[in-house]
Amino acid sequence: MPLDVMETLSDLVRLPSVNPMGRDVSGDEYFEYQVTDYLERLFDRLGLPWRRQTIEPRRENIVARLDGDVPAEDGGTMLMFEAHQDTVPVDGMTIPPWTPTIREGRVYGRGACDIKGGMACMLAALSRLAEERPRGRPTLVMACSVNEEHGFGGAPRIHELWDGGSGFLPRAPDAVIVAEPTLLDVVVAHKGALRWRCHAHGRAGHSSQPQLGDNAIYRMARVLESLERYARDVVPALGRHPLVGHPTLSVGLISGGVSVNTVPDRCMIEIDRRVLPAENPQAALEHVKAFVAESVAGDPLVEQEPPYLISSGLSDELSRDFADRLSSTIRRYGGSGRCIGVPYGTDAPAFSSRGIPTVVFGPGSIEQAHTADEWVAIDQLLTATEILYEFACGR
């Protein structure tokens, strides 16, 4: 019997898979290993071959395969569903994060919206295909990746299953649907992200004689003033995409000093630069660094680290025909089927950057993702499952 999407989502919510987001933390709730083990058992129950990929300790991608009427090796179509296993942390939540609760037409819990709801829909559609084996279906690959929420570390490794000589996948998929909460619209374009740290150095001293020290926070203030000007006056003029708007820059974190009575000898900020689908992230970084260097007259005590996250944007150029076909299926189930752009990032560039038509689709709204009372609407779960099944039938 095919999986019930509500039961599957409830199972997934009960399994903590918190991304530590770069923090030095420990506990059984961190990392994705519990979800990965669950998926392995599920794929075994469905009779599907699967492969795990170790990315980091307790963090493994897992990919399963259901062959189509015409095997991909013999020229048959291959479609990939992709969903990430991790969630953001649960700090500040106002509901029990790992106790799925159903009320008022919603499922509550961490990950219910982002993106265990979408994963459950994909798994339910996959299980129905595995049981019914409708004629004309493509080979369907279910890929579940790790570390999407902080670094996009898992999805870019999935290509090794067809490029790395493992034999698990004979070639690249013909198209990919990435699960994210899109309110059943089709995301065909989004921005990429570039994140890095900037340091200002100084010389410590006693606050009673601040003139004998060199205040790193004051030095960083000059950097921040230049970045504020850059974000306000420069970035908006660097280009615009019709679906996602213009690029942006934001400073999101700052730290410095050791005590109020000590002149600080160091200060650090973290910078977020969102890039357009056609922008080169490395060129965008160099442009910001050059602007800051000119603004602070090349101060050698200002240091920019290499980026710890680089993710390209998603362009709509490759996916137009694929998106139109998915939109047609969505409209048959009462959805608008709009092709839209969004400002946030996803795993999609890991596939589109390899020339694979890729779109983003799923139940729920990004407005409910990461919230203190995260939830997803049940009617969206049910409809998304039907849409994915129908589309994967090749109809």
Instruction: For residues 333-353, give the mean pLDDT.
Output: 96
Q: Name the amino acid, one letter, at 176.
A: V
Instruction: Report the candidate in 244, 264, 240, 243 with the shortest Cα–Cα distance to residue 254.
Output: 264
CA-atom Rg of the chain in angstroms:
23
Q: What is the pLDDT of residues 24-38, one digit of tens each?
A: 999 999 999 999 999
- CB count in 10 Å sphere of residue 225: 12
Can you tell me the mean pLDDT for 55-80?
95
pLDDT grade, residue 308 (50/70/90)? very high
Q: Around Cβ 299, how many Cβ atoms within 10 Å?
A: 15
Give me the residue spans of the domains in the chain: 5-190+314-392, 192-311
Element containing residue 281 per DSSP (H, E) = helix 281-295
pTM of the entire predicted model:
0.94
pLDDT band at residue 166, thresholds of 50, 70 and 90? confident
- Nearest alpha carbon to residue 308 among 333, 339, 347, 273: 273
User: In the prediction, which pLDDT does 15 show?
Assistant: 98
Query: What is the percentage of the chain residues whose pLDDT exceeds 90?
Result: 96
Q: How far is CA 168 from the centre of its chain?
A: 24
pLDDT over 90 at 22, yes or no: no
Q: CATH classification of 5-190+314-392, choosing from 2.70.98.10, 3.40.630.10, 1.10.10.10, 2.102.10.10?
A: 3.40.630.10
User: Is 165 a residue whose pLDDT tops 80?
Assistant: no
Of 160, 141, 167, 144, nearest to 48 (Cα)? 141
Whose structure tokens read 């129905």? 128
Give the model's confidence band at 76: pLDDT under 50 very low, under 70 low, under 90 confident, else very high: very high
- Kind of pairing, strands 78-84 and 59-66? unpaired
Is the confidence at residue 395, as pLDDT, over 80? Answer: no
CATH 3.40.50.720 is held by the domain 192-311: no
